Amino acid sequence: MKAIRLAIQRFLRGPAVSRLLKRLGIDPRVYWLLMDLFGQLSERREIFSQLGRDGVAMRKAAWAYYILSGLMVLLFIVAGMTLATYFAVFLGLTALLLFTILLSETNNSLVNPVEGLVLAHQPIDGATYTAAKLTHLLRILLHLVPGLNLIPALAALMLKGCPWYYPLLHMLAAFAVGLVIALFCCAIFGWLIRFVPPSRLKSIGMIAEMAPWLGYMAIQFSRVGHFKLRIPHWLPSQREPRLALAAAVGAIAVTIVVLGIRALSGDYLVRVSAIAHGGSGRKVKARRSHLGALVARLFGGPPARAGFDYLSRMMLRDWQFRRQMIPLIPMVLVPGFAAAQAIRVSPFSGKFTAMHILPHAFGIVFYLISTVIVFGADHQGAWLFLLAPAGAFRGFARGVYARLLTLILAPHALLLAVLAWYWGIRDAGLFVAYSTAVAAVYLGLELRLIEGMPFSKQPDASRNPFILPMMLLGGALMAIAVGLQYFLVFRSPVVVMAVTVALAAAAWLGTRSSLEAFEVNIRFHLGILSTESKGIYTEVDA
């Protein structure tokens, strides 16, 4: 295996590949120097935010997709799916997953060029630097495309009418789809870099990440989405005009992609400083908040207020938190839009509506927040918390909890006013109380997922490929909870009231235990930081 790896490295750094790089406007010597630099930084664990440079994470993600695709194969073969549908389903799934992952990775690589600030003064042209930055996208393809398609390609031979050469055809098509999507993602940000001011590029990049999900939601919940577009009826009936139209569309698409990628090689390094410092949030004047004073009074004094204000500000300004959370907002809003369409029907009517799902949507929100909130773009400043007295972290943890609690109380206060208009005060009050208790239980449990001081760890992109499978697993568990709730709880107002009281008691007990665990996690993480800093200074003194 080692010999094969060395042979591949010799070929890639050989004259043939060097000539190809020169034709593309890339300096081979500087390109491989940058690749070695990025590889060394990854081995030293100084680059966590780029998935393609973390070999361990890529292997774990590939095995996860091997398992997922194998389970899907079993279901499709048992169902007797036709070969054409089988082929289309796996290519469509590959396109969807790779588009979401590669779009996020391209955005993070190009719009948050932290190491570019150090390299901007070096004699490196934009094409070479951009090529070295985006090479890790190819490693993502080499791991995830086989993970999603190797088992389905081989298992397709058991389908009726499958030719012997189908596995090779399937894999070639899957890699072609992945390569086209990678080039398309690069082209998107090439056009953005060309036309968007550098100071606004981070914000526009986040909107670009959200665009596919926003488009899906617009089609799903708009009236237009309920009608068939009947696109085949718009096309010419003769074969020759159809071929000409397809060739024209393909030529336009290729032109857009090529020009977008060429935009990356222009003056990208010149704009690096403005891009890296842009979109960091507006400077606001410090002001006293009545809500902060209330938190200090109820949750533990000035340390609680510090935790409340710290989380409030950082959730709005931290680049890594916004990058990971904003593209997921449309996925979380789907139950909310569905509930809004069914708002006229009370869950006490005996009919199943989307309102039954709404209380559990908060569980998804808090799961996503809890898993990413410890990572931040300014993680180097975590040493500041080492200066705080040890007794302050108890109140600080309670202040963080109070800020997350407002994400429950504020929407439910608005929801009570709206539902009372449609259902009456009794049904609306019971439902809102029940939903608040359910959300509080989720928050109390998921506080344990916060593994340290918020925004104090280096971003870790190894979690990105597992978001969708975890969302699918969480959706299955949520469906079971919603079914039990529909059949057992919302049959009587008395039962709802009793379950609400029980859930409130469980939330109180669970939150007390989770806050203690959260405080311990903060102390433990800061203790590791303290030990690491002492080790660095000892090494320097020696």
Domain boundaries defined on the chain:
11-277, 298-541
Instruction: Choose among 95, 100, 97, 104: nearest CA to 50.
Output: 104
The pLDDT of residue 223 is above 70: no
pLDDT at residue 365 is higher than 50? yes
Confirm if 438 and 359 have CB atoms less than 8 A apart.
yes
- The more confidently predicted of residues 242 and 526 is 526
Q: Supply 279's token pair.
A: 């979109």
User: Sign (positive/negative) of CA torsion 120, 123, 128, 133?
Assistant: negative
Kindly report which listed range (9-23, 81-95, 109-123, 317-331) carries the lowest average pLDDT score.
109-123
Q: Read off the pLDDT band of 538 (50, 70, 90).
A: very low
Cα 234 to Cα 403: distance, rounded to the nearest angstrom: 53
Mean pLDDT value of segment 319-332: 70
What pLDDT is stored for residue 133 in this prediction?
76
CB 110 within 8 A of CB 276: no
DSSP string of 298-350, one letter each residue: HHTSHHHHHHHHHHHHHHHH-HHHHHHHGGGHHHHHHHHHHHHHTTTS-GGGS
Q: Taking residues 10-17, what's their average pLDDT?
A: 77
Yes or no: say if 64 and 147 are a contact pair by the CB < 8 Å rule.
yes
Q: Using DSSP, how many helices (H) and how many strands (E) does the chain show? A: 21, 0
Question: What is the distance between the alpha carbons of residues 500 and 503, in angstroms, rounded to a whole number?
Answer: 5
267 CA to centre of own chain: 29
Task: Taking the CA atoms of 359, 365, 371 and 374 in sequence, report the sign of the dihedral they define.
Answer: negative
What residue type is assigned to position 286 of the chain? Answer: A
Q: What pLDDT is attached to residue 539?
A: 47
Summarised one tens digit per residue, pLDDT across range 73-124 is 988 888 888 888 899 889 988 988 888 888 878 877 777 666 665 665 566 7
Of 434, 400, 432, 426, the residue nearest 511 (C-alpha): 400
Q: What is the mean pLDDT of residues 424-430?
A: 88
The predicted structure's pLDDT at residue 273 = 61
Q: Report whether pLDDT(293) > 50.
A: yes
* DSSP 8-class letter at 237: S
Q: pLDDT averaged over the chain?
A: 78
Between the CA of residue 489 and those of 364, 451, 507, what are the distances in Å? 21, 34, 18
Which run of H or E residues covers position 396? helix 392-423
- In one-letter notation, the amino acid at residue 330 is P
Supply the pLDDT for residue 345: 78
Least confident window among 39-43, 350-354, 442-446: 39-43
**Whether residue 296 has pLDDT greater than 80:** yes
CA atoms within 13 A on the CB side of 73: 19
Which of 214-218, 426-430, 467-471 has the highest average model confidence (pLDDT)? 426-430
Find where tokens 């009050």 sit. 429
Q: Can you give the pLDDT at residue 213? A: 67
Return the sign of the alpha-carbon dihedral for residues 29, 33, 34, 38: positive
Per residue in 27-62, pLDDT tens?
888 888 878 777 776 665 556 556 666 667 778 778
Question: 199: pLDDT confidence band, cut at 50, 70 and 90?
Answer: confident
Specify the pLDDT at position 403: 92
Angle, in degrees to the nearest 10, between helices 392-423 and 425-446: 150
- pLDDT higher than 70, residue 201: yes
SS3 375: strand
pLDDT, residue 536, reads 46
Region 252-258 average pLDDT: 78
* Higher-pLDDT residue of 292, 141: 141
For 114, the token pair is: 């932290």
Query: Percentage of the chain surpassing pLDDT 70?
Result: 75
Strand partners, 457: 375
Average pLDDT over residues 444-471: 75
Predicted local distance difference test score (pLDDT) of residue 399: 92
Cα–Cα distance measured from residue 186 to residue 109, given in angstroms and rounded to the nearest whole number: 10
**DSSP H helical ranges for 166-301:** 166-195, 201-221, 239-264, 272-277, 290-299
Please give the pLDDT value at position 149: 92
Range from 130-144, 196-210, 378-392, 427-441 carrying the lowest mean pLDDT = 196-210
Task: Round to the nearest angstrom and report the end-to-end CA distance of the chain.
Answer: 40
